[in-house]
Amino acid sequence: MAEAFQATHYGSSRIHDPTEENHDKAVLKLLWRSGWRSYKKKSGKFKNSVKNLIYPAHIDTVFVLIGAIMVVHFGGNNPKWSLGSVDRLTAYMPSSSYLWQVVSCIIIGFTSWVVLTIVLKLILKILLQYQGYMFEGRGAKVSLKTKIWAATLKGFIRLNPPQLYSFQSLLPRLSVPPLKDTIQRYLRSMRPIVDDENYQRLKREAEDFESGIGRKLQKYLILKSWWAPNYVSDWWEEYVYLKSPGPLMAKSNIHFTDHIAHPTTKQTARAANVTHMFIEYRKKLDKHEIEPLLGQGMVPLCSMQYERLFNTTRIPGVNGDKIVHFETSDHIAVLHKGCWYKVKIHHNGRILKPLEIQYQFDQIVNSNPVSSHGEKYLASLTSWERPKWAETRDKYFSKGINKKALHIIESAAFVMVLDDVPYESDFVNLTNPENLHKIGKHAMCGNVYDIWFDKTFTVNIGTNAKSTCNVEHSWADALVISRLFEETMIYDIHDYDSEGNIKSNKEFEYKIKPRRLEWDFTNEDLISRIDQAYEDGMKLYNDVDFQIVVFTEFGKGYIKTCKLSPDAFCQMALQLAFFRDFGKFSLTYEASMTRLFRDGRTETVRACSIESSAWVRAMEDPKSTTKEKVRLLKVACERHQKAYLEAMTGKGIDRHLFCLYIVARYLEVKSPFLEELLSEPWRMSTSQTPHGQSPRILEELKKYPELKGGAGGFGPISYDGYSISYIITGEDRITLSLASYKSCDLTSTDRFGKRIMQALIDIKALMEQYKAESGK
């Protein structure tokens, strides 16, 4: 057990103040603080559970209601609406004395409060079912129904400001769409992809599925949706992520680079401040003090994914991985020059101050450690194929000092890597694009051996204090980790003096030394496995063709003058670029969130549509007029927006069909239609990385635009395709992270990046020409 292990391995760490002479007294203090901390945590959990249970009501209102009933009753003024309830109840009491009248008032007041709380929860639950507002469009006339709904919902939120998990039990469940509707959407999405003959074949197979086995599968899926919080999420996590045998590096994990701003050049100062802010954020998470995200300031998004942000790791398995979350962790794992350390983040019941954490980092960096070959390349195992890593873990890390050391890494709050080289990147002046490519690829893969790919996230910080982050993807989606970084980094820029040191008015109290982890790498087979993992990882690393492309001709500002959705605008540019690159259309994956629903994660938006392909063909047709091209562009963008909103509101295509396939597998029923559908290649996999997820962050970003993220991305999904992650960074910039495989003769990241930039320029030229011709 984790608790037992920690209890027996504190020998090399200080557990009392070095100035304390009475060790017995120090031990008693330690026991008292431990018990008091446990009590506070349990009582805090209970208090928050009660608050969430009764939300949107407030616990104080029960006392107000009881007091009001007492005033009315003992004032001798029993209104008709009370139906003499207090007197009626008192008649059943042992006597009608003053005491029993008070008891009756309390019972009636509490019962009334419970009924009122249930009514308020039902009303709020009904309000959150409404999604018609999303389809009314920005700038369009808002219906009276939506106005009343919005005013009522805002009133509930103002009545009692919510905690992080206040809405969890109130969010609507994701319902299963009608099978007929999903099939029709699927066929429509395939029309521009396949020729007439194949389309007719698909249509026949779809109709046979709909009228045949599909009905049975649909009934089982509806049954699941009635009892499961979300009919998609658990299967998506298990079968898409945890059952996948492939490596996490460049195949599953996501990554992002540092923010544009560079607040200090002192590595250990930055690492310590970031660590301190992350642990403060974790403290707020534990207390539910992080505000839930509210779309348009009133519609709550599911907060489930925050639960495993810290103290979590993915454990490899031969037949599938599992996610392990530790209730608490008092340390982080640190890697420097191939050596692993345990760094304390709590002491004597409080979070260590930034300077106290920096002291530990300085101890590590200044020690000039020497690592063994096995320890240096150990993390390569986490980049390996999952069954191979699982076998190695079971054989060589299931007992002895290796088990103990591995547990320290896996139970850490997160992993911090203090690199021994600077991270050269310039997102401001863009002086050396090649450095951007290098830093982006480093965020994705590191050097293979210096990222623990199993942890929820690993932060790498170079000697010049610039950072990258690699994120394991199964536990959550990008929005959760990006919010953590945004909400902490907006303060990071203010925490250093003119020389780059951490600002502090107090000297640190504790000089705690980091603990070097001990390993046993004497077994030759273990070393051979580590070397093989590193070699396989390097093959993948060398095959990934990655670039960061920063487009500075225009950004969100210009796109809005065209009265087009910025996201749809970018997606149309990608469609045009891909057609010019391949000479045909292909399935295009764009990730959309479904967090309007309980336990929601993502849905696929099929960005290649009948409308987008019609516009692309018109762009490549010299006979097509400017007016016609613009008309088709607007139609394509409107269609894309509608598809995006449908995906957000549970009317997508792919998650529904995926779950039907899982049901078929459980029933051991073969469906050629579903098997072909799920084997179709996504040659473009895209995602927009948003910034400014909360009003407070947006306000700070307006003051300090340099706090926006540099770039983020993921590895190529299809061997003969591209992955594209884009950030509409501001009014005049779009940043794209592009990846493909060098070994594929059909793709070239550099070529495709140039085609995207040209497509964006061509769309602007089209709109400018249209404005000139039409006078609009």
CB burial class (10 A; 0-12, 13-18, 19+) of residue 307?
middle
Q: Are residues 64 and 40 in the same domain?
A: no
Question: Which among 543, 570, 599 is the end of a domain?
Answer: 543
Note the pLDDT of residue 704: 75
Determine, yes or no, domain membership for 8. yes
Q: Which pair of tokens denotes residue 232?
A: 């998609």
- What pLDDT shows up at residue 26? 59
Regions of the chain with pLDDT less than 70: 1-39, 41, 77-83, 137-140, 505-507, 776
Radius of gyration of the chain (CA): 29
Instruction: State the pLDDT at residue 683.
Output: 97
Q: Residue 456 in 3-state DSSP?
A: coil
Q: Residues 14, 83: one domain? A: no
Look at residue 615 in the predicted model and tell me its pLDDT: 99
pLDDT of residue 695: 74
Taken in order 449, 454, 455, 457, the sign of the CA dihedral is positive
**CA gap 653, 603 in Å, rounded:** 8
How distant is the alpha carbon of residue 187 from its chain centre? Answer: 31
Residue partners of 165: CB distance under 8 A and separation at least 6 = 48, 52, 288, 292, 303
- Residue 691 pLDDT: 81
The pLDDT of residue 36: 65
Residue 621 neighbours by CB distance under 10 Å: 11
646: in domain: no
Q: Is residue 446 part of a domain?
A: yes
Query: Is 341 found in the same domain as 431?
Result: yes
Report if residue 123 sits inside a domain.
yes
Which of 35, 54, 73 is at the close of a domain? 54
Query: Within this chain, do residues 420 and 525 fall inside the same structural domain, yes or no?
Result: yes
The answer to whether 678 and 661 have CB atoms below 8 angstroms apart is yes
- For residue 628, what pLDDT is reported? 98
Same-domain pairing of 452 and 422: yes
Q: What is the DSSP secondary structure assignment for residue 259, as one 8-state letter? A: B
Element (H, E) at 730: strand 722-730
- Answer whether residue 383 is part of any domain: yes
Instruction: Establish whether 473 is a catalytic residue.
Output: yes
Asked if 346 and 461 sit in the same domain, the reply is: yes
Q: Supply the range of the domain harboring residue 91.
A: 60-133+140-159
Alpha-carbon span 561 to 184, nearest angstrom: 34
Q: What tokens appear for 416 in the block? A: 């911090």
- Asked, for residue 342, whether it belongs to a domain, the answer is yes
Q: Are residues 283 and 368 in the same domain?
A: yes
346 and 258 part of one domain: yes
User: Does 104 map to a domain?
Assistant: yes
Contact by Cβ (8 Å): 270, 352: no
User: Are 281 and 150 in the same domain?
Assistant: no
* Total of domains in the chain: 3
Final residue belonging to a domain, choices 515, 543, 571: 543
Instruction: Compute the residue count for the chain.
Output: 776
- Phi and psi based region of residue 330 (left: phi greater than 0; alpha: psi -120 to 50; beta: remaining): alpha
- Same domain for 9 and 122, yes or no, is no
Residue corresponding to tokens 């945890």: 242
Instruction: Identify which of 712, 197, 196 has the alpha carbon closest to the alpha carbon of residue 485.
Output: 712
* pLDDT for residue 10: 31
CA 373 from centroid of its chain's CA atoms: 35
Chain centroid to Cα 74, Å, comes to 55
Residue 415 and residue 362 share a domain: yes
Q: Which two tokens stand for residue 736?
A: 């794209």
Is 717 a domain residue? no
The two structure tokens encoding residue 310: 């810290």
Are 7 and 76 in the same domain? no
Which residue among 276, 442, 473, 656 is the active-site one?
473
Residue 368's domain is classified under what CATH number?
3.30.559.70
Look at residues 576, 577, 606 and name the one whose alpha carbon lies nearest to residue 591: 606
Q: E-strand spans in 552-694?
A: 588-593, 602-606, 684-688
